[in-house]
Structure formats: C-alpha cells, structure tokens
C-alpha cells in the first residue's frame, strides 16, 4: 500500500512554467533549462523504480513512502527517495539516474564517474546519503521503542550506469536487481518483527513528519512572456478571448483549459494572490470588467470589496 505517492516537486513545476514563458534568448534560459533537465531525469528514474515494485510479490501488510521529506531535530533536511516498511524489515532506497563509468573509493568516501567523453567528475557519495537517512530512521525506531532491522541500498535507474569493480560489496545495483535484493532480504529475515497494527502505526508516524522542502529560486518575472499561451504553438504564442472561448490566432486551437493552466503558472511564478490589475497584467486582458467576469469562473476566493478586493488561488 502506498501511503505517500511520488509527485512532481514544486521546483519541478516552477521550472516547467518558467521554461514555457522565458524567451530562449534570455541570458539565464540555459541555466534554468539544464536544471529542469536534471530534475526531469531524476524524476523519470524514480518512476522507473516505482514501476519495478509492481512485479515484486510482497507480504501484506506493507507500506511505501515515496519522496519522504523531513526536517530533523538538528534543523537539517532528509529527502528519502523510497521507504518500504514490511513486518520483516525496513528498506530505504536512494535512487540515482547517473550515466557513465562509476567508481568508489571507500577510504575517501569519494564517488566519481567517467563520462563518455573521458571527463572524470566527482559526485556526492550516495552511500553517505542513504546511511544518513537510515540513521535517522533508527533514531525514530528507538524513540518509539520499535525493533526491526533497517537496510538501505542505492539503485541505479539507467542501464547506462556502468558499475566498476570498486563498488563490489556495496549495497548498489541496477533497477533490474531490485527483486533479487528483496528476495535475499526475506531469506535473511524470515521472522515477523512487527505486527500489522504496530507497523501501520510507525508508518503513519513517519508520514506525519512529511513536510515538502521549499527550494529557493530567483524568478525573472519581468522577463517572462505574459498572456494565455497556446500549448500547440511554440515561442510563447498568445491566445485571444472571443465569444466565451480562448482561441489561438496562429493555429486556430480552441482551449477551454488554457486559462486554468495560466492561473497555475501565475501561482508558481508570481504568488497565490492576485488583484484585478495583476490579473490584467499577467493574463494580458485589457478590460477590468472582462477580468472580473473571468475571475468569477476561476478557483479563487475573493476578499475585500471594489478596489481593495484580492483573490486567493485555491489549492488543487
């Protein structure tokens, strides 16, 4: 049972909205684009591992927490890619979508990759990352007086990661090896360590600590393309509003959902509140009266009257 499903992060959605609206000639466009590509690759890798679980037989009950984000008592964050909780053990996964020839020097806790171009790059030690998460889980178990084995592993989500001999003996494998790793853990832990009620109780305690981490990003709002944009056309083609519908003057697309996507872009790039004036500016609507009518059809909550009226964008 999935208690916490994997979702696109807020940063992922912000960067997607920014790339939709930032001119490709902007000085920072490639920086934002490269950052988005890295996040998209990581997310795709995590979803690939999630799909692998569907073919693995697990005893009931069992619980998954994907992308669990925690603020610990030191004020530091944990972002745990996946946790499996079952009556026999707890397994923590660090998922990597890294290509290249991978090497590890345990004495220096140094993880490197050699790219196809022959460049050697130092990378964050994934074993340190996942061990740190495991230590936090163990502290939580001790706090709630729960005894159950805790395991961890690093899963490579792409076949283009070549694991060197230096990684032998480390808890790391390709996604295709996940099912075999799970079988070995069940062979190692045949005894039930937690009853169904206690397992669910501990899983929900972890879930209650989940708090999505907010990443800071500077958004060049003044430079983005405004208006309700056509999803079919590129280069920020604006749509026109006539006869109660949004139409693209270039390709003729009629899109009743376009205004809702624009509202989501506004929320991601500007904020969760707007006025008639800021609506006219971002949506490129010339008439305050038309803006008022359009706002009545959107999922917003109005506060105040006349020129002091403010609209709050609802969640969901």
Query: 213 falls in which pLDDT band (50, 70, 90)?
Result: confident
Q: What percent of the chain has pLDDT over 90?
A: 90
* Phi, psi angle pair for 217, to nearest 5°: -150, 140
Q: Which residues contact 264 (CB under 8 A, 6 or more apart)?
A: 13, 17
pLDDT at position 215 over 80: no
Q: What is the pLDDT of residues 174-186, one digit of tens each?
A: 999 999 999 999 9
Spatial neighbors of 196 by CB under 8 A, at least 6 apart, are 61, 87
The pLDDT value given to residue 73 = 84
3-state secondary structure of 106: helix
- pLDDT tens-place string over residues 229-274: 999 987 789 999 988 899 999 999 999 999 999 999 999 999 999 9
Is pLDDT above 90 for 282? Answer: yes
Do 111 and 123 touch, CB atoms closer than 8 A?
A: yes
Q: How far apart are CA 24 and CA 29, in angstroms?
A: 6
Sign of CA dihedral 42, 45, 51, 57: negative
Cβ count near 35 (within 10 Å): 16
Could you name the CATH architecture of 226-313?
Orthogonal Bundle (1.10)
* Phi, psi of 165, rounded to the nearest 5 degrees: -60, -25
What is the biggest distance separating any 2 CA atoms in the chain, rounded to whole angstroms? 71
pLDDT at residue 136 above 90?
A: yes
What ranges do the domains of the chain cover? 2-208, 226-313
Alpha-helix runs per DSSP H in the chain:
10-21, 29-53, 126-143, 178-188, 196-208, 258-269, 276-283, 288-296
CA distance 52 to 267: 34
Query: Hey, is 306 helix, strand or coil?
Result: helix
What distance lies between CA 271 and its chain's CA centroid? 20
């Amino acid at each position: 049972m999935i208690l916490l499903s994997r979702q696109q992060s807020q940063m992922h959605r912000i960067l997607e909205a920014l790339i939709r609206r930032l001119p490709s000639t902007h000085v920072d466009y490639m920086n934002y684009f490269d950052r988005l590509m890295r996040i998209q690759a990581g997310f795709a890798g995590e979803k690939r591992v999630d799909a692998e679980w569907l073919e693995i037989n697990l005893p009931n009950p069992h619980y998954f927490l994907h992308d669990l984000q925690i603020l610990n008592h030191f004020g530091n964050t944990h972002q745990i890619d996946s946790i499996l909780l079952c009556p026999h053990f707890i397994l923590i996964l660090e998922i990597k979508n890294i290509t290249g020839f991978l090497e590890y020097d345990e004495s220096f806790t140094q993880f490197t990759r050699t790219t196809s171009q022959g460049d050697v790059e130092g990378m964050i030690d994934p074993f340190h990352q996942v061990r740190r998460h495991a230590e936090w889980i163990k502290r939580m178990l001790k706090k709630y007086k729960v005894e159950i084995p805790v395991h961890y592993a690093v899963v490579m989500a792409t076949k283009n990661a070549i694991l060197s001999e230096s990684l032998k003996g480390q808890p790391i494998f390709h996604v295709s090896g996940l099912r075999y790793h799970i079988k070995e853990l069940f062979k190692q832990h045949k005894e039930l360590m937690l009853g169904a009620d206690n397992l669910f109780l501990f899983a929900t305690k972890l879930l209650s600590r989940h708090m999505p981490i907010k990443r800071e990003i500077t958004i060049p709002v003044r430079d983005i393309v405004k208006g309700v944009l056509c999803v079919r056309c590129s280069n920020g083609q604006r749509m026109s509003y006539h006869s109660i519908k949004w139409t693209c003057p270039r390709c003729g697309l009629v899109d009743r959902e376009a205004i809702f996507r624009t509202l989501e872009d506004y929320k991601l790039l500007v904020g969760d509140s707007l006025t008639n004036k800021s609506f006219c500016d971002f949506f490129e609507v010339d008439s305050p009266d038309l803006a008022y009518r359009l706002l009545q059809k959107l999922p917003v909550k109005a506060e105040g009257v006349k020129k002091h009226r403010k609209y709050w964008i609802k969640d969901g």
